[in-house]
Amino acid sequence: MLGIELPPFLIFYLGAVIALLGGASWRGPVMIVVILLSALNLWQLPAIYSVETELMGMALKPIHIDRLSLLFGYLFHIAALISVIYSLHIKDRMQQVAAMLYAGSALGAVFAGDLLTLFVFWEMLAITSVFLIWARRTERAYSAGMRYLIIQVISGLLLLVGIILHAQQSASLMFTEIGLGSMASWFMFMAFGIKCAFPFFHNWLTDAYPEATPTGTVFLSAFTTKVAVYAMARGFPGTELLVYIGATMACFPIFFAVIENDLRRVLAYSLVNQLGFMMVGIGIGTELGINGAVAHAFNDVIFKGLLFMSMGAVLYRTGRINGSELGGLYKSMPKTAILCIVGAASISAFPLFSGFVSKSMIMSAALKENFDIVWLLLLFASAGVFHHAGIKIPYFAFFAHDSGIRCKEAPWNMLLAMGIAATLCIAIGIFPQLLYQHLPFPTNYSAYDVSHILTQTQLLFFSALAFVWLNLKGLYPPELPSTNLDVDWLYRRPIPMFINACGRVFRKVDTYARGQIISAGHAFEQRLGNLHGSNGIFSRTISISSMVAWMVALLALLLIIRFI
């Protein structure tokens, strides 16, 4: 026991200060100690706990712990620990400081009991996370980071507007269930939705995450979107609109992931796909649906982190990440290949792996609430994720063909981090009660009944069969060096073209206007010269008699005007 109760985020922020001031050789180990101390501090806090204060007459609750936030708190400590172990080999002060501040901000957000505190940490998430993208120090990373930051700031502004309107309407800043009953709630819903990667707002994720450093992407995959999932579960449970948004999110990324060459971008699309399942569960709003969404968020951080770690190890050792340039790496990196397969099995929801025990909860909730079409869409999405993440990632990275690359196995710390994640994937899959007992609502759900196992096994079998058949027939989209655009086509193509066209028009108008002004100036100057020249009217000599005549005429005119 620590004997004191500290805000969960504060220890992480202190760890960031230590990382900023500490030496390169011991920053990593100290970060691990900080995370363990923070986890011990969280463990000793009561399961229901809050801290209340007041600001300018408004009641605030900067810390609020219940079953929902507590599970995310444990999850973020696990994710931070795995990510720091994975990044022990780096000595980049900027990445290490940003990582600790980022993880601490995520904890501050999920334990925020009022909307003002949530907003502060919401913005801190954006500011700290962008440095994990810029830390790669390439032009592409800088550009992607700027686009990422703009979208995150827009999300924060929408949240702030929603909070102000909500405070005016309800005279309360408490972060409880909000619902879509007012203009304020719609602003907050869109703010949460942007960070949840809603359709048409998802490109900040698929654009920026693949441009981050190998270690930075692991951190990014764990926190931002899961904080948004938590916020949506807290503020908008049972919002039916989320069911249809989530079903769309689960389906459309499949098509882009299948044709994508950059394997980390494939995983980014896969992350949007998995977020769609979570949105469906939250939108259904029943205890089973919420439990399924939260459980799947927990599992997704682990198995998606494992997949990002395996691809990060490949990038670290080979300097390449395109499927067209890889293959045959099982010979050089056999341990990484095995751990990647564990992550692939987990995200594909194989029985005895973690994805199976959470994804089936969401699909069962959809059936129980008569969302039959949505259930079919989720079934299609499950088959799709097996194609692009369960098969494509390990196959093209390690087995598709021999690229001739021979490299070292991943560093020991990367293997250790991947090993911890793989162990959790298997342990939760075999003993789901380890997770179920910590879910927001009590549950007696059993994932391992005959119908669930048969349905999922058949789905995986026929998906694998389709993949093999398409490959043998040469119909599966090949891995080609390319840049695939979806919604980002709007700001990469027509918007720049429109801005450039406006620039050209402005330059033409500016050139014409400048020419006219200069011509008018020259003409005026010439006219003045003529007036003051030797023959000009202002340089003529006027006789005294003429002046007297003009003065008499002017005086006569004034007298006439005066006496009329």
Q: Give the pLDDT of the chain (564 residues) as one tens digit per residue.
A: 444 678 889 999 999 998 888 777 788 899 999 999 999 999 988 888 888 888 777 888 999 999 999 999 999 999 999 999 999 999 889 999 999 999 999 999 999 999 999 999 999 999 999 999 999 999 999 999 999 999 999 999 999 999 999 998 888 899 999 999 899 999 999 999 999 999 989 999 999 999 999 999 999 999 999 999 999 999 999 999 999 999 999 999 998 888 888 999 999 999 999 999 999 999 999 999 999 999 999 999 999 999 999 999 999 999 999 988 898 899 999 999 999 999 999 999 999 999 999 999 999 999 999 999 999 999 999 988 988 888 889 999 998 888 888 899 999 999 999 999 999 999 999 999 999 999 999 989 988 988 888 888 888 888 888 877 877 777 676 666 666 777 766 766 777 788 888 888 888 898 888 888 888 888 887 777 776 666 666 666 666 777 788 788 888 888 888 776
Q: What pLDDT does residue 538 have?
A: 60
Please provide the DSSP assignment of 413-428 as one string.
HHHHHHHHHHHHHHHH
Task: Count the neighbouring beta carbons within 10 Å of the beta carbon of residue 30.
Answer: 17
CA angle 206, 208, 212 (to 5 degrees): 125
Instruction: Map residue 53 onto helix, strand or coil.
Output: strand
CB proximity list for 442: less than 8 A, separation 6 or greater: none
What's the Cα-to-Cα distance from 225 to each of 198, 264, 274, 436, 560, rounded to whole Å?
Answer: 11, 17, 11, 22, 88
Take residue 293 and report the two structure tokens written for it.
């969404």
Which residues pair with residue 60 across a beta bridge?
A: 53
Instruction: Map residue 484 onto helix, strand or coil.
Output: coil
Quickly count helices (H) and strands (E) in the chain.
22, 2
Question: Cα(308)–Cα(319) distance, rounded to whole angstroms?
Answer: 15
Instruction: Give which of 284, 398, 293, 288 is closest to 342, Cα–Cα.
Output: 398
The ranges assigned to domains in the chain are 1-236, 237-486, 489-517
Q: How many residues does the chain have?
A: 564
Q: Tell me the pTM.
A: 0.86
Instruction: Give which of 215, 221, 202 is closest to 389, Cα–Cα.
Output: 221
Instruction: Give which of 369, 316, 298, 278 is closest to 89, Cα–Cα.
Output: 316
Q: Torsions phi, psi of 508, nearest 5?
A: -65, -45
Question: Cα(383)–Cα(89) distance, rounded to whole angstroms?
Answer: 37
CA angle 212, 217, 220 (to 5 degrees): 110
Q: What residue has token string 């700290």? A: 128
